């Protein structure tokens, strides 16, 4: 009988045929199998099932644009490129000294208006002189009109702490909403992950993620635009290299967990054999998830069921096989276990009914 099994194993290995199928030509027939099969059993115990998924991200310094809240002329710069500033620090002055210049224009305008009035009321009028006065008045009125949007002094402040990068110089005319600078904070970094919706589940806003080397990232955002992670880096040592980390995608406590290679499959679906007294019973199972070589069984097995894991070929020598091709529904069996102290195969002692 052992010689037949050895020959069969070689044929199966060379042919690449699953030894978990039964009723296939070339596999042990009823005549090849004993009337009662010695089997190893293992009580099903509830365990923790974890599905872990790996991710990677590149973190870049936080950067925000500095926008003007009014139109005007850049008249003074309080910082230079590369300066580090605190939040609220004044970066740029707008329209500084413009009121004095507007007052000078108004004074000159009044002077020319008086000159024109005198010219129009002289006994001997001079049309050419009057025309020059009118042109000058028009020029001054146009200048004053252009000054109206710039008469209000203003300043632009840093929206956050960081390093300044300027986009304007003194004399630049700006409109409301123009970008005049950029602030970069190298002590706070962000990473955006473009993930399908199915992979965004572990990223609960506020969740802390261990990046290693003492760095902790926080989920700042999880929405249609993707997942945003934030990490504080006071010493600016995180670097811009790719960071890899693992997250628990799914965790089930008190679950039935089996090794992926420990189940059988046929046209009916996945199943296992369990021992019920002295007979084998086929248990059709539902696989809810699979990860890291383990499967989560949601239906078909319960804690305490005696799962048949091997067929014992020789209890004396300890020879056994994972092939269960001699088992079938109702097959007579002799349940056995491995003694954890000695490693010997012994008969499984069950409680008397």
pLDDT tens digits, 14-47: 233 333 334 433 445 555 789 999 999 999 999 9
- The pLDDT of residue 224: 85
Provide the pLDDT confidence category of residue 121 given band limits of 50, 70 and 90.
Answer: confident
From start to end of 12-137, where are the E strands? 37-43, 46-57, 60-67, 72-77, 84-85, 90-94
Rounded mean pLDDT, 279-307: 94
Q: Please report where in the chains the tokens 């050419």 appear, as a residue.
A: 128
pLDDT digits 0-9 by tens, 160-186: 999 999 999 999 999 889 999 999 999
pLDDT digits 0-9 by tens, 309-343: 999 988 888 888 888 999 999 999 999 999 888 88
Burial class (CB in 10 A: 0-12, 13-18, 19+), 221: middle
Three-class DSSP category at 136: helix
Average pLDDT, the chain: 85
Q: What share of the chain in percent tops pLDDT 90?
A: 56
Rounded mean pLDDT, 257-280: 94
- Of the candidates 55, 48, 58, which has an alpha carbon nearest to the alpha carbon of residue 209? 55
**2: pLDDT strictly greater than 80:** no
Burial class (CB in 10 A: 0-12, 13-18, 19+), 197: exposed
**7: pLDDT strictly greater than 60:** no
18, 33, 137, 242, 244 from 311: Cα distances, Å: 16, 11, 111, 49, 43
pLDDT digits 0-9 by tens, 63-117: 999 999 888 889 889 999 999 999 999 999 888 766 777 788 888 889 998 898 8
- The pLDDT of residue 32: 78
Q: What share of the chain in percent tops pLDDT 70?
A: 87
- The pLDDT of residue 192: 94
Residue 231 in tokens: 């990490």
- The pLDDT of residue 163: 96
Residue 198 in tokens: 């199915």
Domains of the chain: 2-50+252-347 (2.40.420.20), 53-63+187-249 (2.40.30), 64-182 (2.40.50.100)
Provide the pLDDT confidence category of residue 152 given band limits of 50, 70 and 90.
Answer: low
């Amino acid at each position: 009988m052992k010689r037949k099994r050895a020959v069969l194993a070689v044929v199966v290995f060379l042919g690449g045929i699953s030894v978990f199928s039964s009723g296939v030509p070339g596999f042990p027939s009823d005549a090849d199998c004993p009337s009662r099969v010695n089997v190893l059993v293992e009580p099903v115990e509830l365990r923790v099932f974890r599905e872990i998924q790996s991710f990677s991200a590149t973190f870049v310094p936080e950067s925000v644009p500095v926008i003007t809240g009014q139109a005007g002329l850049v008249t003074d710069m309080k910082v230079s490129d590369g300066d580090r500033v605190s939040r609220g620090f004044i970066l740029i002055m707008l329209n500084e000294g413009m009121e004095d210049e507007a007052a000078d224009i108004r004074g000159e305008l009044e002077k020319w208006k008086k000159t024109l009035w005198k010219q129009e009321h002289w006994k001997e009028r001079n049309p050419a002189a009057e025309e020059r006065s009118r042109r000058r008045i028009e020029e001054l009125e146009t200048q004053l009109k252009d000054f109206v949007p710039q008469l209000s002094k203003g300043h632009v402040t840093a929206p956050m702490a960081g390093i300044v990068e300027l986009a304007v110089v003194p004399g630049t005319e700006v409109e409301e909403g123009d970008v005049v600078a950029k602030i970069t904070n190298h002590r706070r970094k962000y990473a955006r992950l473009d993930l399908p919706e199915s992979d965004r589940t572990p990223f609960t806003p506020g969740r802390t993620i261990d990046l290693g080397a003492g760095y902790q990232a926080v989920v700042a955002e999880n929405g249609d635009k993707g997942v945003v992670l934030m990490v504080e880096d006071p010493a600016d040592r995180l670097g811009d290299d790719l960071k890899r980390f693992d997250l628990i995608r799914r965790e089930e406590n008190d679950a039935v967990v089996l090794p992926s290679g420990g189940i059988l499959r046929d046209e009916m679906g996945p199943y296992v054999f369990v021992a019920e007294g002295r007979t084998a019973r086929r248990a059709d199972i539902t696989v809810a998830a699979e990860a890291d070589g383990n499967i989560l069984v949601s239906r078909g097995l319960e804690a305490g069921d005696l799962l048949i894991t091997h067929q014992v070929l020789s209890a004396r020598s300890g020879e056994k096989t994972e092939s269960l091709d001699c088992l079938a529904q109702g097959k007579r069996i002799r349940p056995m276990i491995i003694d954890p102290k000695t490693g010997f195969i012994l008969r499984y002692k069950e409680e008397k009914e």
